[in-house]
Structure 1
Amino acid sequence: MTNKINITLSTTKKEKPASNQLEFGRVFTDHMFVMDYSSSKGWYDPRIVPYEPITLSPSSMVFHYGQTVFEGLKAYRTKDDKVLLFRPDKNFQRLNLSNDRLCIPQIDEEFLIDALKQLVSIDKDWIPTAEGTSLYIRPFIIPTEYYLGVAPSKFYRFMIILSPVGSYYKEGIHPVKIFVENQYIRAVEGGTGKAKTGGNYASSLKAQDEAEKRGYSQVLWLDGVEKKYIEEVGSMNIFFKINGEIVTPSLNGSILEGVTRNSILQILNHWGVPVSERRLSMEEVYQAYKDGLLEEAFGSGTAAVISPIGEFFYKEEKMLINNGETGELSKKLYDTLTGIQTGVYEDVFNWVVEVK
């Protein structure tokens, strides 16, 4: 594959929304990155073009068998007007892990970072400056072969689109209420839970819809075998502070290895905070709550960064955590992560990448 990226700039620029009117994933920038694959040529024709609809045949495999992967990361504008990416190498490493699970060809990760830098540089005026805002980045791959047989596609399209965003949850950094799901299952070991693929999210919608009808923001997923061990919360990894120790479910083949999760573990170790990655049952958490030892709980992910949990609904009982308020550790982690991402705090981990 040639490393030369052909660039076609848009001749008409869209109107940018006000920072205080940003929703998550509703508005998109002027340009996108596109690259194609065929089994005979490999990845080819990398290009940055105006954001526009794409045309596919109704028989394209993307519409039928779910062989898709995607990623999510962000670009931030600092107070001195620099543009920073947060750990893009980890996202593209994970993209290739998802590719492997879905039988999609591997992509050169260094080339993807260079392509992303060029795209973000072209559309950097779209990066909002208000506190809590950023430019969300969505790389994804779809199969484009015209074929109704069940088999890996021989043709693919890789794309990156950009969206200026505000807070993922309308609650912001304030605690959310979580429904503990005991009927529906997100993923099982040996399935696609550790890959970032669309089917994982489609299968979550029914439980999410029913939780929202009951007044809850998200669901807490339990394991698919015994329905007792905690896995993820919504589309995020989850952490608990129990009697001074931070506990998060260990990666077991059905849990997504979050970039934010990995960052939190490194920060906690850097601070000397006791951390345990292990199998954790909801009953253990419930007993800790009964004993007054459950101090905090929070989700972590690219979109929300840190999402404090103020309440669980479990066994027809409301478990109020930290009086329904944001915990001290949750707030400190949020401030630290967003501070590194926006250049306010020193990046002692060498995580941020500047876009020139």
Structure 2
Amino acid sequence: MNDLQLTIELTKHPKEKPAADQLAFGTVFTDHLFTMDYTAGRGWHDAKIKPYEPISLDPAAIVFHYGQTVFEGLKAYVTEEQEVVLFRPEENLKRLNRSNDRLCMPEIDEEFALHALKELIRIDKDWIPNKEGTSLYIRPFIFATQPYLGVAPSATYTFMIILSPVGAYYKEGMNPVKIAVESEFVRAVAGGTGSAKTAGNYAGAMKAQEIAEANGYSQVLWLDGKERHYIEEVGAMNVFFKIDGEIVTPSLNGSILEGVTRKSVIELLRHWGIPVHERKISMEELHAASQAGTLEEAFGSGTAAVISPIGELFWKGEKMTIHNGEIGPLSQRIYDTITGIQTGKLEDPFGWRVNVFE
């Protein structure tokens, strides 16, 4: 870890905490945040934890005009033994730096960032809900702050971490979601920014999401931007299919986000001796499997929902029902295992769980 020093200023006006059974997703924020600045030639400096407050930026800040910003999402949990734990935070920080590199932004010191994150959670630990299905969502993000109307990397940046107690991501909970296959719009192409977690990817996806929701679907399943045949990912999740007893997930091709939960699902399945094939899979192949009755399960994986079973896909005017619109046994087993490891209900043979107070 570098020689950065972390200063702490505690709030004098604590907020009222919401009831755990009233939590939505991403609407309430804790008492404190972490912030650190970057200046070219100086590096990262002025790391501090301070009361949660609005950001003040120059109207010409590069982030507003040229979109230089990246973010991450992870969670903290309270275990049955009342320990506060994180799930694979080092993977999120590695990915944050990969996103930084793609957007021409300065890398952070991952060890220091984890130290600062732990300290922030220690300070706001009473905000972590302990009702089943709840957690403390963690949002690290970095944005360009230099006031300059020129297309060039910023000379200054701010790195922040905010915390939000959350309930379930989908109102359906673990009930299978309905997803529309997107054939008109494109999320990303190889060589673009699809493998980075940057705001523009999500802004560009909103139109298709809006249309899907208007038609009764929770999310959009994106196809490749070149041929519009090959499955890539769901709006907020990577995606897996069980076809004739085999697990298939789209291979990382430069336009798909490398999910931490995706990686965990693959490692878990291989630990169980279940082979996972990372390869190209077309909608035509998936439709044929559905017609033949060999499309046995489908589910998304992501930090927010962990595992989200897919009960229906809508493609070219046709509804493809999966596992009778019910949760499949493998989806349930993966969900139970990962959430069990996250919350300390199950042993962690992989070393994924990180204790905040150690």
Does the aligned pair in 1 maintain the 2:181–2:221 contact within 8 Å? yes
In structure 1, C-alpha distance between the alignment counterparts of 2:302 and 2:258, rounded to whole Å: 10
Could you list the per-position Cα deviations for residues 289-342 of structure 1 after superposition, in whole angstroms to 9, with x for gaps in the alignment? 000000000000000000000000112111110000011001110000000000
State, as a whole percentage, how many aligned pairs show the same letter: 67
Q: Could you say what secondary structure the match of 2:264 adopts?
A: helix
**Paired position in structure 2 for 1:300:** 301
Displacement, 1:3? Answer: 2.6
In structure 2, C-alpha distance between the alignment counterparts of 1:313 and 1:265, rounded to whole Å: 26
In structure 1, C-alpha distance between the alignment counterparts of 2:119 and 2:351, rounded to whole Å: 21
Q: Could you say what secondary structure the match of 2:101 adopts?
A: helix
In structure 1, C-alpha distance between the alignment counterparts of 2:31 and 2:218, rounded to whole Å: 32
Q: Could you say what secondary structure the match of 2:118 adopts?
A: helix
Does the aligned pair in 1 maintain the 2:4–2:45 contact within 8 Å? no
Displacement, 1:2? Answer: 3.3
2:56 is aligned with 1:55: yes
Q: Could you say what secondary structure the match of 1:64 adopts?
A: helix
Could you list the per-position Cα deviations for residues 76-107 of structure 1 after superposition, in whole angstroms to 9, with x for gaps in the alignment? 00111100000000000000000000000111
- Superposed, which structure 2 residues align to 1:266-281 within 5 Å? 266-281=267-282
Displacement, 1:274? Answer: 2.0
2:21 is aligned with 1:20: yes
Does the aligned pair in 2 maintain the 1:2–1:44 contact within 8 Å? no
In structure 2, C-alpha distance between the alignment counterparts of 1:286 and 1:337, rounded to whole Å: 29
- Superposed, which structure 2 residues align to 1:1-356 within 5 Å? 2-356=3-357
In structure 2, C-alpha distance between the alignment counterparts of 1:353 and 1:3, rounded to whole Å: 22
| Structure 2 runs not aligned, ≥5 long | none
Displacement, 1:40? Answer: 2.2
Aligned length: 356
In structure 2, C-alpha distance between the alignment counterparts of 1:134 and 1:3, rounded to whole Å: 29
Q: Could you say what secondary structure the match of 2:341 adopts?
A: helix
Displacement, 1:54? Answer: 1.2
Displacement, 1:217? Answer: 0.4
Does the aligned pair in 2 maintain the 1:237–1:300 contact within 8 Å? yes
Does the aligned pair in 2 maintain the 1:34–1:160 contact within 8 Å? yes
Q: Could you say what secondary structure the match of 2:16 adopts?
A: coil
In structure 2, C-alpha distance between the alignment counterparts of 1:118 and 1:240, rounded to whole Å: 39
Does the aligned pair in 1 maintain the 2:77–2:86 contact within 8 Å? yes
Q: Could you say what secondary structure the match of 2:44 adopts?
A: strand
In structure 2, C-alpha distance between the alignment counterparts of 1:303 and 1:157, rounded to whole Å: 24
After superposing on structure 2, the runs of 4+ consecutive aligned residues of structure 1 that deviate more than 6 Å are: none
Displacement, 1:132? Answer: 0.4
| Structure 1 runs not aligned, ≥5 long | none
- The one-letter amino acid of 2:117's match is L
In structure 1, C-alpha distance between the alignment counterparts of 2:67 and 2:303, rounded to whole Å: 23
TM-score normalised to the size of structure 2? 0.99
In structure 1, C-alpha distance between the alignment counterparts of 2:194 and 2:313, rounded to whole Å: 23
Displacement, 1:194? Answer: 0.2
In structure 1, C-alpha distance between the alignment counterparts of 2:311 and 2:284, rounded to whole Å: 18
Could you list the per-position Cα deviations for residues 220-257 of structure 1 after superposition, in whole angstroms to 9, with x for gaps in the alignment? 10000000000001121000000010000000000000
